[in-house]
Amino acid sequence: MPAPRPTPTRPPLVVAGLGLVALVLILGPVLALGIRVPWARVGEVLGDPTTHDLLRVTLGAGLWTTLLTCLLGVPLALLIQHLPRGGRLVRLLVLLPLAMPPVVAGLALTAAVGRRGLIDAHLAFAFPGVVAAHTFIALPFVVVTVDAALRQIDPEIPASAAGVGLSRGEVLRKVVLPAVAPAVATGAGLAFARSLGEFGTTLTFAGSLPGVTRTMPLGIYLDRETDPGRAYVLGALLIGLAVLVLLVAALPGLWHRAPAPAARSLNPLDAGELRALTAPTTGGVPVRLGEGVELPADRITAVVGPNGSGKTTLMQVIAGRLRGRAVDVPGRVILLTQRPGLPRTTTVAGAVTMATRDASRTRALLDAAGLTPLSDVPVPALSGGQAAQVALVRALAARPEVLILDEPLTGVDIASATAWRGLLRAAARDRTTLLVTHDPLEVAGLSEYLLVLDGGEVTAAGPTAELLQAPPDDVVAALAGLNRVEGVVVASAVDTVSISQGRITVTGTSPEQLDPGQRAVATFPPEATSLRTASPAAAGTESARNEWPGTIEYVESPVGRSATLLTVSLGEGVRISVPVTRQSLLELSLTPGSRVHCVTKATAITVHPLHP
Amino acid sequence: MRRLPVLAAALLLSGCTAAPTGLTVLGASSTRVIDEAVAARSASEVTFSHAGSSTLVQQLIDGAPADLLITADHATMSRAVEGGVVEGPRVVAHNELVMVVGRGASISSVDDLGPDTALVLCDPQVPCGAVTAQLIDPDIRPVSLEHSVADVLGKVVSGQADAGWVYRTDALAAGDAVTVVDIPGAVDHPTAVVAAVTTGSADREEAQALLDLLSSPAMRPVWAEHGFTPAR
């Protein structure tokens, strides 16, 4: 069976037509020139010493120009990325040499570094002057192409490389430059080609002395006066050179092929070995957030909160990527986000070795993590789940004291997520781990400590088990899968306690003594409540102590569950979840807006004191 | 959609509407200074187009519409005659080489040119350079062989070069920006300004009348005023 290929797409006819016109506009004159070239004279012109002089000056200037434009242009492109507001103004100014008339460019150079210029750099009428003129004109080609390539790099990639311990220079050498190498080649090729064709600026600034400053375009212009045939031959030669240069510059791009994702089955995880290879020498350190909140060392802390509650911001602050808030972290912090941030120009083993700096340790690590089958896979060929696992191993390889995981499993399939959690659980006891998550399974199954954020502030922090049992707010209650009603204690009997929130009174049991007037919170599992559509049962015929009238707000049918989840509003801002079977839903005609009575046994409700 | 071709045709035509009456002169760059005087004295409406002499000849051979060609030397005019695009060339004036020196440079004669002088000349392949080659001491080494008189003059005016050899007419046009120094023997090597009616002229009689005007006594003071020597 042949491999599937992309379905071809066709542009609209007008686009295709105009595109062809443009192509003919470019190639037509070049081909027409070929008719006038006296091809029989090519040998004679090539053997002429004058031609050798022209070629020597032209190619010499081209090579020097390419070298200098890359040497100066790549750093400028890099600098632009770090300028405030993205260096928009600088980006525009860089284009000036392309927009200037060449003669004006020559006059400008004369004013700056000519014999009577601001600085006499002894460039005029000498070969370095030709190179200076060409570098001035061709620099934008390198800057623009490299700048565009740099903007395509996912900022997470250099950030995570710095996170696993690469110095600024190493990030540049091992991550950024390899990523933009094809663009540098393209820019260099364009600069060389532009140098081959430069005329006006060279003539104005450097002059035109045979063997010293006279390049081929200058020679062609003069030959046109006395020997047009020779001018045509030289012109053809120059075009040939330019085509050759552009072809060479395109080679890196032609080599590059998008690697096809390969299905590989992974090996089992060796938890003991993985811990031995990744434990930081000093162990984890506690993270102090100020406000008296301290996240415990060597534990997984789950960080929860509604969207926009400032979780990611706080994690970026702790990781040192954002400033402005006082946090105290004595040790190396690594942050993993949902973008794995692996360099796309290397293999899995290469990416991990950046952190380990030791190929044999990389092999041992991948082996312990069960990822050896992936070690020679190019990063772009990894699936999302594989990349998440590799990124975690790479982060662990740097032996951080603090590891921050900001929803790293978004978009990862269930099997990979399970493998990833296995990796994390294996390494959890050796370092402080912060896990930002929305997943109740991760909170309950992985974390020992829970940090709750809302509106950028810490609203609760404590051991996960305690907080889930007595959720301090609706976010944690939802995580715990519990309904939650806050109120004031109104009555306390031998084995029951009642709290009231406006018209709603909740009666439940309490493990400790509560006094009237005290604030408290009642929690109960959703399945403890049943629904009734008829009026209340007669007094003395019902054991359930709680009966609240309410209105159905939403009806949800989670995929793969038999029950349908209803959200019922009891008024006073109180909402509870109640599961019902599909059959009940149909028989009772429950739809949003239906009036219902919620019936709950007091024994299913736990009341805790609410700490201010 | 049916209007598109009509529109396109209209656009094309508007680009190349030829004046029904009047003459087009292709003149060597150095003759641009007499345009106004010629236009004022001619019976016909005259349009001028200027470029280097050989560029003009190439344009004519490639079919540019024109009635009169003026070149800055004999050699380029000969190419036009060989190409069959003009007939009966006639010398209408002469031009001679001078040396221009930038403001502040201490050069008052050709003898002051030393190895440290940044001297720019025309390349021997262009008309001004051909005359230069006949006059200059071969030991004097220029720093650049320029492609036109304008390039030489531009380098001296900008201060990039100390001195340069150009036509007297161009030196005069540059005004106070340069000092003019006579070149010994230049008078004996004048460059001819040659004019001829094109074979493709739509109105050969009018074109001939314009050619006659250029060599007429009425034009002599005009030529002289701009640094040319009127033809005898």
**What is the rounded average pLDDT for all residues in chain A?**
87
Residue A489, φ and ψ in degrees, nearest 5: -65, 125
Distance CA B197, CA B201 (A): 7
Rounded percentage of chain A residues whose pLDDT exceeds 70: 94
A32 half-sphere exposure, CB direction, 13 A CA radius: 6
The interface predicted TM-score (ipTM) is 0.76
Indicate if B9 and B27 belong to the same structural domain: yes
B109-127 residue pLDDT tens: 888 888 888 999 999 888 8
Indicate if B109 and B150 belong to the same structural domain: yes
Tell me the pLDDT band of A258, cut-offs 50, 70 and 90: low
Minimum-distance CB partner of B145 among A209, A223, A224: A209
Where helices occur in A470-538 by DSSP H, the ranges are 474-480
Distance CA A370, CA A419 (A): 10
Indicate if B117 and B172 belong to the same structural domain: yes
* Radius of gyration for the alpha carbons in chain B, expressed in angstroms and rounded: 20
Indicate if B120 and B83 belong to the same structural domain: no
Indicate if B87 and B158 belong to the same structural domain: no
Most A-contacting residue of B117, B122, B160, B178 (CB-CB within 10 A), to test interface? B160
Q: Is the pLDDT of residue B12 over 50?
A: no
Helix (H, G, I), strand (E, B) or coil at A352: helix
Please list every residue in chain B whose beta carbon sits closer than 8 Å to the beta carbon of residue A226: 54, 125
A155-168 residue pLDDT tens: 999 999 998 889 99
Q: Is the pLDDT of residue A329 over 80?
A: no
Mean pLDDT of all residues in A496-512 = 89
Indicate if B28 and B79 belong to the same structural domain: yes
> Which position has the token pair 């001028």?
B48
pLDDT of residue B127: 82
Indicate if B21 and B80 belong to the same structural domain: yes
Q: Is the pLDDT of residue A541 over 70?
A: no
Any CB–CB contact under 8 A between A532 and chain B?
A: no
The number of folded domains in chain B is: 2
A79-126 residue pLDDT tens: 999 888 878 899 999 999 999 999 999 999 999 998 888 988 888 889
Residues of B with CB under 8 A from a CB of A: 52, 54-55, 58, 118, 120, 123, 125-126, 142-147, 151, 154-155, 158-161
Give contacts of A 62-121 with B, CB under 8 A: 107, 110, 114-116
Angstrom CA distances, A240 to A30, A152, A246, A254, stand at 11, 33, 10, 20
Cβ of B52 within 8 Å of Cβ of A208? The answer is no
Neighbours of A34 (CB within 10 A): 12
Tell me the pLDDT band of B20, cut-offs 50, 70 and 90: very low
Query: A142: which 2 tokens?
Result: 């390198």
Indicate if B177 and B63 belong to the same structural domain: no
Distance CA A444, CA A457 (A): 22
Distance CA A355, CA A161 (A): 8
A354-407 residue pLDDT tens: 999 999 999 999 998 888 999 999 999 888 888 888 998 999 888 888 899 988
Tell me the pLDDT band of B16, cut-offs 50, 70 and 90: very low
A405-461 residue pLDDT tens: 988 777 677 777 787 788 788 778 888 899 998 877 778 778 889 998 888 888 888
3-state secondary structure A27-47: HHHHHHHHHHCCHHHHHHHHH
Q: Is the pLDDT of residue A9 over 60?
A: yes
Whether B21 contacts B45, CB under 8 Å: yes
Indicate if B87 and B104 belong to the same structural domain: no
Tell me the pLDDT band of A256, cut-offs 50, 70 and 90: low
Indicate if B121 and B174 belong to the same structural domain: yes
Domains assigned to chain A: 27-253 (1.10.3720.10), 271-465 (3.40.50.300), 482-609 (2.40.50.100)
Query: A494: which 2 tokens?
Result: 């031998």
> Which position has the token pair 């050069």?
B107
Q: Which of A519, A497, A521 is nearest to A602 (CA)?
A: A497
Question: Which range marks the domain in which residue B217 is found?
Answer: 3-94+192-230
Distance CA A511, CA A427 (A): 36
Question: Lowest mean pLDDT: which of A229-243, A550-564, B130-144?
Answer: A550-564
State the count of interchain CB pairs (< 8 A) between A and B: 63
Which of the pair, A411 or A18, is modelled with greater confidence? A18
Neighbours of A593 (CB within 10 A): 8
Mean pLDDT of all residues in A66-71 = 97
Any CB–CB contact under 8 A between A122 and chain B?
A: no
Distance CA B86, CA B211 (A): 12
pLDDT of residue A536: 60
Cα A347–chain centre separation: 18
Chain B residue nearest residue A225, CA to CA? B54
Indicate if B196 and B163 belong to the same structural domain: no
Indicate if B90 and B28 belong to the same structural domain: yes
Looking up residue B197, the CATH number of its domain turns out to be: 3.40.190.10
Any CB–CB contact under 8 A between A218 and chain B?
A: yes
Distance CA B5, CA A400 (A): 72
Q: Which residues contact B232 (CB under 8 A, 6 or more apart)?
A: none
